[in-house]
Amino acid sequence: MYRALAEAIRDAEQQGISLARLALETEARDQGRPVEEIRGALQRALDVMRGAVEQGMTGELRSASGLVGGDAAKLRTGPAGPLAGTLFRDVLARALAVQEVNAAMGVIVAAPTAGGAGVLPAVLTGLAQARAIPDDAVVDALAVAGLIGAVIAERASLSGAEGGCQAETGAAAAMAAGAATEMLGGSPGQVGHATALAMQGTLGLVCDPLGGLVELPCVFRNATGSAIALTGIELAIAGVEFAIPVDEVIDVMGQIGAEMDVRYRETAGGGLAATPTGRRLAHERLVQLRRR
């Protein structure tokens, strides 16, 4: 796979093909598998993503510790704020839904990780439903997301323990922004700007889950991550360009992660996990879990 998004964008432009096609053909060559087989695997991933959205929306799931669950359903049925009846509100609900399923030991697609698994399904399936986009085009978008994620994995990190939450929900937001931009007809160059615009919005984001569990704030970080992805898409499609090249934004995310204090890298030693309430809740819930 590519090690720089700029190279992929250049190759796609020169060959006059989409980034999705470039990504699928590159993967097929790298792995010695036919494109159709890779598309099949991505279609299965999409089916699992949709299943998780649906399951989470029922509002019946609770996490092992009981810290999270039931909030996606509130967005579906509860009072509406400024986003009443919008795609934006639907995307937020979907992100919560998938992450609530994850916290309740339901089946999800780690994309790129389990902790950031809500963003891509929220943005892609939300948009696909609102605009009646066929599955083939959503599968293409997943290939673009995979390309962006692979570049982030090579240049920076996709692990909260290594790079903080910017490397999990931040990476997911960047992947979703780029992927959806092409799905909506954006050019390869616009995909690059959407990716950079989303990622700049999560730089420095710490990984600080209560008790070290993939629950709080992870569920909500997937919602805010999706909001940042939508921002990147909207700006890039409107023609906004980000002056720092996307590969440099990815590099600096990796550098910030490497310099981040270990308390902010999935150790529950800092951030929300270390607040008085965060410590108390984590202690209570873990004691309860051990008694069961």
Binding site for other proteins (CB under 8 A): 1, 23-24, 27, 30-31, 38, 41-42, 44-45, 48, 63-65, 101-115, 117, 120, 142-143, 145-147, 149-150, 153-154, 158-159, 161-162, 175, 211-215, 268, 285-286, 289-290
Nearer of residues 175 and 205 to other proteins, judged by Cβ: 175
Q: How far is CA 53 from CA 80, 102, 217, in A?
A: 20, 11, 19
Please give the Cα distance from 272 to 203 (Å, whole number).
17
Nearer of residues 218 and 235 to other proteins, judged by Cβ: 218
Closest separation in Å from C-beta 94 to other proteins: 16
Closest separation in Å from C-beta 236 to other proteins: 21
Residues 6+ apart with CB under 8 A from 44: none
Q: How far is CA 132 from CA 180, 184, 192, in A?
A: 14, 11, 25
Closest separation in Å from C-beta 26 to other proteins: 9
Nearer of residues 92 and 101 to other proteins, judged by Cβ: 101
Residues 6+ apart with CB under 8 A from 281: 67, 210, 211, 216
Nearer of residues 153 and 252 to other proteins, judged by Cβ: 153
Closest separation in Å from C-beta 234 to other proteins: 24
CB 171 within 8 A of CB 158: yes
CB 203 within 8 A of CB 248: no
Q: Which two tokens stand for residue 192?
A: 């690059």
Residue 246, amino acid: V
CB 56 within 8 A of CB 35: no
Q: Which two tokens stand for residue 166?
A: 């910017």
Nearer of residues 235 and 270 to other proteins, judged by Cβ: 270
Nearer of residues 210 and 233 to other proteins, judged by Cβ: 210
Closest separation in Å from C-beta 100 to other proteins: 9
Buried b (16+ CB within 10 A) or exposed e, 89-122: bbbbbbbbbbbbbbbbeeebbebbbbbbbbbbbb
Closest separation in Å from C-beta 158 to other proteins: 7
Nearer of residues 109 and 256 to other proteins, judged by Cβ: 109
Closest separation in Å from C-beta 2 to other proteins: 9
Residues 6+ apart with CB under 8 A from 280: none
Closest separation in Å from C-beta 166 to other proteins: 16
Nearer of residues 24 and 184 to other proteins, judged by Cβ: 24
